[in-house]
Chain A
Amino acid sequence: MNHVDGNAMAGPLSEIFAVDLSKASGTCASCGLVGPVAGLRVYGPDPGLVARCPGCDEVVMRLVRGPETAWLDLRGAVSLRIPLGP
């Protein structure tokens, strides 16, 4: 099964967040690798988007979009460092 890069998360996440998260930098909860969201390996889009760490393949983020609800699971990320304007 082929994956695409983390930019595939950017569109669906822009529905939820006011900032472009593809530029954010995340820390993998499994192996500690730090890297941009755009560098994650994304599988899907159905049943949902699954973004995996390029270092250890563990799940970093999951996003499921229902007709009226989105579910976002970030427990595979220790933190997201989000650049904001001054």
Chain B
Amino acid sequence: MLSAGPTPRVPLDRWEFAIDTEAERVHRWTWEELMGLPVETPTVDIHCVTTWSKLDTTWQGVSLDVLFEDVETAAEYALVYSYGGYTTNLPLEDLLDGKAWIVHRFDGEELEPRHGGPARLLVPHLYFWKSAKWVRGIRLLNQDHPGFWETAGYHNYGDPWREQRYSDD
């Protein structure tokens, strides 16, 4: 289990998730509102940059396609930010069309804080550092803005099938 700092503890009555557009329009969801959205149960393989993979992991959460339904944007880039200050960047298209979720359960159980609970991003087609734990929001940007590990030597995109681990890979 990888972590870059202390585990944030976020009470559910103070938790919120936001999408901030490039036009400075903010869409927000409380925990209760998130729980009221349609739930999907993706079963996916995940790939850690330290070379392990875990096959057929089962999660529960809300597709980002649902959260983006009413979001108007022409931005091409997303910067995901978390409680605790972590950030990671990726092209917006990698979050849409059934490729990413805000998940709150793993293997049928509530997601533990040490694994990113109450909710984390799940983007299984990229290395797992892109699946930000303790997710708090997504900022939409016209220009790419490298995140926490992407500014410290890790690859800007992180495709496990092309073994894009480091910035010079």
Contact = CB atoms under 8 A, between A and B. Distances in A.
Interface of B is mostly: loop
B2 A73 contact: no
A45 to B, nearest CB: 9
A30 to B, nearest CB: 11
A59 B151 CA distance: 13
Range class of the A interface residue count: 10 to 19
Contacts of B7: 1
Nearest to A1: B3
Contacts of B166: 64, 66-67, 69
Contact of B153 (A1, A52, A57, A71): A71
Nearest to B84: A57
Contacts of A70: 153
Given A71-B152, A73-B152, A66 B4 contact: no
A66 B50 contact: no
A47 interface: yes
A66 B5 contact: no
A12 B165 CA distance: 19
B114 A64 contact: no
Interface string B36-48: 0000000000000
Nearest to B167: A71
Nearest to B113: A1
A46 interface: yes
Interface string A69-81: 1110100000000
Interface in B148-169: 149, 151-154, 165-168
20 contacts: A1-B3, A1-B6, A1-B114, A43-B5, A46-B49, A47-B4, A47-B49, A47-B149, A48-B152, A48-B153, A48-B154, A57-B5, A64-B149, A64-B152, A64-B154, A66-B153, A66-B166, A67-B166, A71-B167, A73-B152
